[in-house]
Amino acid sequence: MARRFAGDRLVLATHNAGKVREIGELLAPFTVEVISAGSLGLPEPEETGTTFRANAELKARAAATAANLPALADDSGLVVDALGGAPGIYSARWAGPDKDFTVAMKRVEQKLTGKKKVVAHFVCALCLAWPDGTFETFEGIVNGTLIFPPRGTQGFGYDPIFMPAGHDITFGEMEPERKHAMSHRANAFRQLVAACFAA
């Protein structure tokens, strides 16, 4: 049985403005004040895990301890079969020190030169941790294909090159509500809500 969230304040263990916005929108229906780790000046821990799940747990537990509040962390990324699973847990690092995902998307495209329809999926691990060391982790996946050149200005990260299965537009072209209904993050978030928030 998962531990229930009973507080009214939650730290989002991220400095990524796109994740703060997207997770904040997903948490909007709940009466919880969301504070980002960035706004609290919390350091970003080194992501030493070898899986999305391990990195989400590492970040959530560090933020919960530092802020003495429950903390929610996301570790997510693009997994491309033709690249042996890359960029995977290194998705943000492919964007360089300036977190420029135009650079990251171009790097993916260059490594896929000559390949036509490229199968890929997004993975999101969400971890909710408490200051006492307890934590709950959930993982969501959305399958799709990559398209080039990038299309759309919605979302963030690799969204403009990712077309979810069964659709003809990219995440970068989708309105947030539509993306939230099917994304890897929304998938993991539904599991989190059902286990830890639902009445």
CATH number at residue 42: 3.90.950.10
Residues 33, 130, 73, CA angle at the centre, nearest 5°? 65
pLDDT given for residue 173 in this prediction? 97
Out of 75, 81, 98, 168, the active site residue is 75
Q: Is residue 189 part of a domain?
A: yes
Alpha-helix residue ranges (DSSP H) falling in 68-199: 101-111, 176-180, 184-192
- Of 14, 75, 19, whose CA–CA distance to 43 is shortest? 14
Q: For tokens 């959305």, name the residue.
A: 142
pTM comes to: 0.90
Q: Which pLDDT tens digit goes with each residue over 145-182?
A: 999 999 999 988 999 999 999 999 999 999 988 998 89
Whether residue 4 is contained in a domain is answered as: no
The Cβ of residue 49 has, within 10 Å, a number of other Cβ atoms equal to: 16
The answer to whether position 99 is within a domain reads yes
* Rounded (10°) angle between helices 184-192 and 17-27: 50
The answer to whether residue 20 sits within a structural domain is yes
User: Of the ranges 30-39, 86-95, 184-193, which one carries the lowest mean pLDDT score?
Assistant: 30-39
84 in a domain, yes or no? yes
> What DSSP designation does 87 have?
B
Please check whether residue 3 lies inside any domain of the structure: no
Q: Which domain holds residue 22?
A: 9-197
What average pLDDT score do residues 66-93 get? 95
Domain count, the chain: 1
User: 75 an active-site residue?
Assistant: yes
- Does any domain span residue 2? no
pLDDT tens column, 81-106: 999 999 999 999 999 988 899 999 99
